[in-house]
């Protein structure tokens, strides 16, 4: 028997400070239907050149449902290499097999995409995508997972941040997970492109209140997901920030 955990990994590029900290968040739910889960991982040897995106998608097996996902980049010794996007999507032609993100109101995404971003060149860079799916042998025909999504312009000024918050309305059910990105914009209608500067990064992707503040440990009423993005030391023109929430109905 394996006890599920959620791991948060932090890192710094050319600057570090003793006040830096890393905080993981796990969203847990009880269910009479989904009594076990499975994880699908996929990876790509990318990006290996500066300011190019390394995009990779993990897809849930047939007859299962996507519950969430995550992203990771290695090696950690490359200080300017980091994930800049982690979001739900679909393994179909309409979403270019994961290169376009799930849009607001879409239902039952089956895949999760991760995007790596670097400010330099390294041939061993790898980007990992993780999809958390319902376990095998569960009849999920009565389950609906709805996507809620929001995009905002910015941050475009050097050394500034941006928060984007999206919620699960009560009619959509309960928040089960979420995603975040900093990008070149229009990620639900075009293939994902990188933001305006190589130093741009994600500071956070977490359950929150309506104002974008992280919820406290043990909170049972979280209904919002927040993306917190940040530029490096340079300006970042034509940069956007995105947040996704996955909302599950009572069928779960």
Averaged over successive runs of 10 residues, the pLDDT of the chain (252 residues) comes to 50 54 77 92 97 97 97 92 97 98 98 96 97 96 96 97 97 96 98 97 96 91 96 95 94 76
Longest CA–CA span in the chain (Å) reads 51
Strand, coil or helix: 128: strand
Question: What integer pLDDT is reported at residue 15 of this predicted model?
Answer: 54
Question: What integer pLDDT is reported at residue 16 of this predicted model?
Answer: 53
Is residue 113 within 8 Å of 130, Cβ to Cβ?
no
DSSP letter (8 states) at residue 200: -
Question: What integer pLDDT is reported at residue 2 of this predicted model?
Answer: 40
Is residue 91 within 8 Å of 102, Cβ to Cβ?
no
pTM of the model: 0.92
Question: What integer pLDDT is reported at residue 79 of this predicted model?
Answer: 82
**Residue for token pair 């905002």:** 152
Structure tokens belonging to residue 243: 């947040």
The whole-angstrom separation of Cα 176 and Cα 50 is 35
Question: What integer pLDDT is reported at residue 219 of this predicted model?
Answer: 86
The whole-angstrom separation of Cα 161 and Cα 41 is 30
Please give the torsion angle defined by the CA atoms of residues 10, 12, 16 and 20, in that order, rounded to the nearest 10 degrees. Answer: -20
């Amino acid at each position: 028997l394996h006890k599920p955990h959620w791991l948060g990994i932090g890192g710094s590029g050319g600057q570090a400070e003793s006040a830096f900290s890393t905080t993981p968040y796990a969203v847990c739910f009880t269910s009479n239907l989904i009594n076990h889960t499975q994880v699908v991982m996929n990876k790509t040897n990318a990006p290996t050149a500066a300011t190019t995106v390394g995009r990779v998608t993990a897809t849930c097996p047939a007859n299962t449902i996507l519950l969430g996902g995550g992203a990771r980049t290695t090696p950690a010794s490359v200080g300017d290499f980091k994930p800049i996007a982690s979001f739900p999507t679909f393994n179909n032609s309409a979403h270019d097999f994961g290169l376009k993100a799930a849009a607001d109101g879409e239902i039952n995404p089956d895949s999760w995409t991760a995007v790596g971003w670097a400010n330099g060149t390294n041939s061993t860079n790898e980007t990992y995508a993780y999809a958390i799916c319902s376990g095998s042998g569960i009849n999920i025909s009565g389950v609906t997972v709805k996507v809620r999504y929001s995009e905002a312009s910015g941050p475009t000024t050097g050394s500034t941040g941006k928060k984007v918050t999206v919620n699960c309305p009560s009619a959509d059910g309960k928040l089960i997970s979420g995603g975040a990105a900093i990008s070149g914009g229009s990620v639900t209608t075009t293939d994902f492109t990188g933001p305006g500067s190589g130093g741009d990064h994600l500071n956070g992707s977490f359950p929150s209140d309506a104002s974008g503040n992280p919820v406290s440990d043990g909170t049972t009423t979280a209904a919002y997901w927040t993306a917190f993005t940040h530029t490096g030391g340079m300006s970042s023109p034509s940069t956007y920030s995105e947040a996704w929430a996955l909302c599950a109905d009572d069928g779960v």
